[in-house]
Chain A
């Protein structure tokens, strides 16, 4: 969808939808929202709906940053402890490496 062709109020609706949907454990929607609407929120000359869009975009950025941090932390913990967790570690693993612990 080309944002250029959208009316400002439709932009706001779209941005809000993405923002709200992100709460259903869908951090990628926040990431997409943040990137997609970044220009609209911060670069475009002022228009009526911009401040609200800016709020959603800022929150999306914060949300996806938290998610990213959480995922990185988990991946590090998991990779460091997969072997010592034994059976649990295997259960949590999708592809177990061949020939290694």
Chain B
């Protein structure tokens, strides 16, 4: 019969088809074993993780996010105003992902782009050279023009609030505190920039004679997906809610914060109490911020102040014997964390002081903790802000105009002596105009709690900031200047080379040390003690190198526990000065703690396991660090330092007080959104035309239908195709037989 012959032929064909398919599938599998995964053939993954991410305060979300699977757009490089017009209006292939030069990354441009529905993401080139990608010449600061104003001393003062006397940070863009709603990345790796421009934009997208190119076009998938939303109130409520979930509660955001590092000169146990006006407090801030994750340079913003204080401590403690005498005033070195985010560290310290648990929490039986400090104990408060970029090589002493009349004499003395000791070391220190309020400073939180506290804040500006890159990724050693390393100097040479900047800072440290000696003992330092009260420029240069250029340096290796040595080795750039969230202790905080232990403590003979506090004896801290290399060996000596250095919490009281209303504005309410492990990244790929995409889909659907038909036919005739005898008899398919 003709029909059955036809049917047989058809079945034969199907048999061949199936065999071929199996072979193909097999051969495909073989090639799958190789490293060339299809994904890698389709995408170029960029290395950058420098994403703008999301933070919250009590009322707002700020920063960036992408859609769940990343924002996709055609890559367009903005080189001129014409390109802006192209992206915003005329270009036919929207949405776009825009590539910007650093100089074009201004508040107006970024906000215009972010608000346009035709823009899906922004990448800013963060590899700098003077011709191709110069820094923004007018300056750039990611924070407000009047930083921390609403949480400072003058928040409600009609004469001084909102920087009406002086806008400190004129180049402030507040871009860090805008809800941009699209992902924004920095490209800091030259390979990334090369991939985006030379493998993607110029070959495929760059319009020729103002006409758009044809498909395929190079596109980017930009992903920075944040888990939290709305504001701190909402996301903390959601994070803290009790849920019945096997995988644990879902986290949406974490409070920002870390630890303050507090060091005391005198050993005053809790069994004896302090006298009024018996403590001199010296402070600086430990953190900074910028737009992008990992890109937190803070040369002038933070590092110079920290290094000055560290070196001053080292010098001062050499003269310890005189300073621990009962008639001398105690000296406290305070490094406050999280100050950039509405004074987290200092407001917490003040809160703890007022509760009587500063620097340690202890019960009444505890006789051997550090004697508690309260506000009346503080004799004076000296703070270092930015001190690197000196205005006409001068530093400026700022005082608070409101409290000044109450403590005029004291403040006069303070500034007089600071100036005198500065002059001896060729540092000119001038008094800022008396109409000016204090610039943003931790001291403001102390003044809010005690109106008659004598405060002097030393900075490198009288009026507006001399630093044009305050709290931005451009605040680097280069911009600070004075890093006059010899040409082709290698890392070791740089590490040991005393730069001009180091000398300037060492002089300031010496000034501070001498001033503190004088303030504590009431004595003018004699020629015999002056060498002790002189900061070591070599140490200053090393500190600057380690904090600003590379943490992979001997000083840091000596000062960390062996468990942390690897992170120094892995570090490709300076440690971030961003305060981050409470669950993670900042590397900078740990290093400052260890360095203070080294500079102010005594080396005791101990091994690693015994290097810890003895029960209730909490006055001293014991810090183990791996120490210097042994002679002719790769082993390290291991040091245990006994010092009066303590961590105190730098978490906003807002997250500690029960039933606290975050919107009250008393304390910092900043939190940071969580994100998943693969939530951040950029990849480039070629986007075919919509017609091509539609035809691929159509072919796919046809294949599906065809395969269903084939399977149906195969099943109908399974007995004919697969010659299994037992099945052949039944003639019909049933899974049960």
Give the interface of A toward B (CB within 8 A).
86-87, 90-91, 96, 98-101
Q: Which residues of A contact B673 (CB under 8 A)?
A: 99
Contact A98 B227 (CB under 8 A): yes
Judge whether B493 is part of the interface by a CB distance below 8 angstroms: no
Contact B226 A99 (CB under 8 A): yes
Residue of A86, A91, A98 with most partner-chain B CB within 10 A: A98
Judge whether B346 is part of the interface by a CB distance below 8 angstroms: no
Which residue of chain B is the closest to A87 with respect to CB atoms? Answer: B237
The distance from the CB of B722 to the nearest CB of chain A, in whole angstroms, is: 34
Q: Which residues of A contact B386 (CB under 8 A)?
A: none
**Nearest 8 pairs between A and B by C-beta?**
A98-B227, A101-B230, A100-B229, A99-B226, A101-B229, A96-B238, A99-B229, A99-B227
Contact A98 B241 (CB under 8 A): no
- C-alpha gap A87/B238 in the complex (Å): 9
Q: Which residues of A contact B65 (CB under 8 A)?
A: 99
Q: Give residues 176-234 of B contacting A (CB, 8 Å).
A: 225-230, 234
Additional A-B contact list (6), CB under 8 Å, known A99-B65, A100-B229: A86-B234, A90-B238, A98-B227, A99-B226, A99-B673, A101-B230
Q: Give residues 240-254 of B contacting A (CB, 8 Å).
A: 241, 250, 252
Q: Which residues of A contact B225 (CB under 8 A)?
A: 98-99
Judge whether B408 is part of the interface by a CB distance below 8 angstroms: no
Which of B234, B237, B252 contacts A98 (CB under 8 A)?
Answer: B252
Contact B237 A90 (CB under 8 A): yes
Which residue of chain A is the closest to B228 with respect to CB atoms? Answer: A99
- C-alpha gap A94/B398 in the complex (Å): 54
Judge whether B68 is part of the interface by a CB distance below 8 angstroms: yes
The distance from the CB of B316 to the nearest CB of chain A, in whole angstroms, is: 50
Which residue of chain A is the closest to B227 with respect to CB atoms? Answer: A98
Q: Which residues of A contact B238 (CB under 8 A)?
A: 90, 96
- The prevalent SS among residues of B at the interface is loop
Q: Which residues of A contact B241 (CB under 8 A)?
A: 90-91
The distance from the CB of B524 to the nearest CB of chain A, in whole angstroms, is: 62
The distance from the CB of B363 to the nearest CB of chain A, in whole angstroms, is: 37
How many residues in B have their beta carbons less than 8 Å from beta carbons of A? 15
The distance from the CB of B540 to the nearest CB of chain A, in whole angstroms, is: 45
Contact B68 A99 (CB under 8 A): yes
The distance from the CB of B61 to the nearest CB of chain A, in whole angstroms, is: 9
The distance from the CB of A96 to the nearest CB of chain B, in whole angstroms, is: 5
Which residue of chain A is the closest to B230 with respect to CB atoms? Answer: A101
Q: Which residues of B contact A96 (CB under 8 A)?
A: 238, 250, 252
The distance from the CB of B543 to the nearest CB of chain A, in whole angstroms, is: 40
Q: Which residues of B contact A99 (CB under 8 A)?
A: 65, 68, 225-229, 673
14 A-B residue pairs with Cβ-Cβ distance under 8 Å, sorted by A, are: A87-B237, A90-B234, A90-B237, A96-B238, A96-B252, A98-B68, A98-B227, A98-B252, A99-B228, A99-B229, A100-B229, A101-B229, A101-B230, A101-B234
- C-alpha gap A100/B228 in the complex (Å): 7
Q: Which residues of B contact A86 (CB under 8 A)?
A: 234
- C-alpha gap A90/B249 in the complex (Å): 14
The distance from the CB of B184 to the nearest CB of chain A, in whole angstroms, is: 16
Q: Give residues 539-565 of B contacting A (CB, 8 Å).
A: none
- C-alpha gap A89/B516 in the complex (Å): 57
Q: Give residues 694-723 of B contacting A (CB, 8 Å).
A: none
Q: Which residues of B contact A101 (CB under 8 A)?
A: 229-230, 234
- C-alpha gap A65/B83 in the complex (Å): 58
- C-alpha gap A75/B77 in the complex (Å): 46
- C-alpha gap A87/B230 in the complex (Å): 13
- C-alpha gap A99/B61 in the complex (Å): 11
Residue of A90, A91, A99 with most partner-chain B CB within 10 A: A99
Q: Which residues of B contact A87 (CB under 8 A)?
A: 237
Q: Which residues of A contact B227 (CB under 8 A)?
A: 98-99
Q: Which residues of B contact A91 (CB under 8 A)?
A: 241
- C-alpha gap A90/B250 in the complex (Å): 13
- C-alpha gap A99/B68 in the complex (Å): 8
Q: Which residues of A contact B229 (CB under 8 A)?
A: 98-101
Which residue of chain B is the closest to A100 with respect to CB atoms? Answer: B229
- C-alpha gap A96/B225 in the complex (Å): 16
Which residue of chain A is the closest to B67 with respect to CB atoms? Answer: A99
Q: Give residues 570-589 of B contacting A (CB, 8 Å).
A: none
- C-alpha gap A99/B65 in the complex (Å): 8
Q: Which residues of A contact B237 (CB under 8 A)?
A: 87, 90
